[in-house]
Amino acid sequence: MNKDLAGKVAIVTGGSDGIGLATAKLLASRGATVVICARRPEKLEAARQEVAQFGAVEAFPLDVSDEDAFTAMVEDVANRHGRLDMMVNNAMSVHYAPVTHLTMEHWRKDFAVNAEAVFTGTKAALKVMMPQMSGSIVNISSTTAIRAAPYMSSYSASKAALIQFSAVAAMEAAPANVRVNVIVPGQVMTPATAEWAAKTPETAAKPAGAIPMLRGGQPDELAQAIVFLLSDAASYITGVALPVDGGKAAQLYLPS
């Protein structure tokens, strides 16, 4: 395996399963020291053991909506390792409800995790990366940020805010040789998605059938795109929102 990330330090939020876990494994396998964060300690420890099979990993229980705790964690990682090279803001919150039934509590929770926490993590990472004149941040959005999805207003709006915030951060960080990009996933077969699909196979088949490639993505496929943007292979790419969605974002009409 290519060890091109040896000596690099990375933080991945939402790192205990799905896209985050797949990304942490790939980063570790390529030589990076990876710090994974998630809310549930037991699940996080299981993920740490999984990632440890591929390389160096640390685990921090963290609620990313806690600004002080998130900032302190980033500072601690940078201080202990003397650097921070890569940051993946992947933790997410989603509530499904019609606008007429969505509560303000649900709206604020989705924004707290999907937008405000990305601001916190990006801000803390930039404070380390810009003085060291190097670094790469990848924030995880969703195709629902660019294509309307009924019953997902708070999730969609917060993920759209993430895209525009990341573009502004990219412009501010570019003179310091720090890059900020966004991955825009479509349907991804994470454990939660797979569980839902198993319970409601007919309902689950509909979104997959509307994707030009006729299937949902796998976490490993998203991880490959994320690590590409983090790596020096993408050294002249910043401020982009890259769909990794089987063609969904490019699709003009839904299949009949």
Q: Does residue 253 register a pLDDT over 80?
A: no
Instruction: For residue 195, give the H/E element and its range.
Output: helix 191-199
Does the global pTM surpass 0.75? Answer: yes
Q: How far apart are CA 256 and CA 249, in angstroms?
A: 17
204 lies in some domain: yes
Q: How far apart are CA 244 and CA 181, in angstroms?
A: 13
Q: How far apart are CA 115 and CA 112, in angstroms?
A: 6
Per-residue pLDDT tens over the stretch 232-250: 999 999 999 999 999 999 9
188 lies in some domain: yes
Rounded percentage of the chain residues whose pLDDT exceeds 90:
87
Instruction: For residue 58, give the H/E element and its range.
Output: strand 57-61
Tell me which of 96, 155, 236, 253 is the catalytic residue.
Answer: 155
Residue with tokens 């454990």: 191
CATH number of residue 211's parent domain: 3.40.50.720
**Beta bridge partners of residue 10, listed in sequence order:** 34, 86
251 lies in some domain: no
167 lies in some domain: yes
Residues in CB range of 112: below 8 A, 6 or more apart? 65, 93
50 lies in some domain: yes
Range of the domain at 177: 9-242
Per-residue pLDDT tens over the stretch 179-224: 999 999 999 988 777 776 676 666 566 677 789 999 999 999 999 9
Question: Phi and psi at residue 19, in whole multiples of 5°?
Answer: -60, -40
Q: Does residue 256 register a pLDDT over 60?
A: no
Q: Count CB-CB contacts under 10 A for residue 120.
A: 21
Q: How far apart are CA 22 and CA 183, in angstroms?
A: 14
155 is catalytic: yes
pLDDT number for residue 104: 98
